[in-house]
Amino acid sequence: MSVSSGKASNPKTRVRRQPALGVYDRDTVYQILDEALIAHVAFAVDGSPFVIPMLVACRDDELLLHGSTASRLMRHLAGGADVCVGVTHLDGVVLARSLFNSSMNYRSVVVFGRARAMTRSEDKLEALRVFTDQQFPKRWDEARKPNDKELRATMILAVTIDEASAKVSAGPPQDEEADLELDIWAGEIPLRLEARAPVPDPLLKDLPVPESVHAFRKRFETDV
Ligand SMILES: Cc1cc2nc3c(=O)[nH]c(=O)nc-3n(C[C@H](O)[C@H](O)[C@H](O)COP(=O)(O)OP(=O)(O)OC[C@H]3O[C@@H](n4cnc5c(N)ncnc54)[C@H](O)[C@@H]3O)c2cc1C
């Protein structure tokens, strides 16, 4: 991936609006991608833009996407079309004294790349294992693996991370000096994704909550 040393190497990924929030080092970009559950995948078909939300996993310099072999998105991208993938973690709502300076705190990444479809069953299975274990640690070992029919119906795309940028907004509101004297509450409301208590399938046999569920919930533990 051509991001490094805190500078955008490509004008396409250089953050222009609020450039101070632009971050280009590999560690920041990959940390944001590694934490992602979902991504928004953008592509153009016959000049029309589309954005589709989907699950995502990150492996080395690639993003892994999976979907039906019948999916328009998957078939289109498998042909090597340009793709842009966005990942966002919303960390808080920032209320300034003025509406103009009110904003969000977030960590987001925009990736530009190309997809290739995996064709060999062994590669697809291994990608699905990585995908599952990254998102739901230990679930691959617990669950029934895809059979041949299910594997044939599933397309796995590896999107090369050719170019990427991160944008990180954190901290208190940035009010105008003159507004600081106003009697208006200002501050941040932190936000977090929460994994609540699991609800067993009504058809479930009498089984304990497995390790994967505990591991998944741990990802979203809050301190409140
Ligand atoms: C949760 C959230 C809420 C937001 N709400 C608003 C809003 O309401 N209004 C608003 O104007 N903006 C909002 N932003 C910021 C928005 O994402 C854009 O950064 C901003 O609008 C500038 O767009 P632009 O096309 O002018 O960016 P430019 O700076 O011209 O984009 C140039 C390049 O910078 C990179 N880049 C731009 N934005 C991001 C990003 N967010 N993350 C990673 N790389 C990026 C991309 O590679 C892009 O190609 C929000 C961002 C987040 C994450």
Residue-wise pLDDT tens digits, 15-63: 999 999 999 999 999 999 999 999 999 999 999 999 999 999 999 899 9
Q: What residue owns the CA closest to ligand 1's atom 11? A: 17
> How many Å lie between the centroid of ligand 1 and the Cα of residue 16?
9
Using the atom order of ligand 1, give the atom closest to the CA of residue 90: 1
pTM > 0.95: no
Of the candidates 63, 40, 24, 43, the one whose C-alpha atom is nearest the C-alpha of residue 156 is 63
Q: What is the pLDDT of residue 98?
A: 98
- Residue 4 above 50 pLDDT? no
State the average pLDDT for the chain: 93
Q: What is the pLDDT of residue 10?
A: 79
Phi, psi for 126 (deg, rounded to 5): -65, -40
Residue whose CB lies within 8 A of the most ligand 1 atoms, among 167, 169, 188, for a mutation test? 167
Q: What is the pLDDT of residue 5?
A: 43
**Contact between 51 and 40 (Cβ < 8 Å):** yes
Phi, psi for 22 (deg, rounded to 5): -75, 135
Cβ-Cβ contacts under 8 Å for 34 (sequence gap 6 or more)? 58, 134
Number of H helices, E strands in the chain: 6, 12
> How many Å lie between the centroid of ligand 1 and the Cα of residue 29?
15
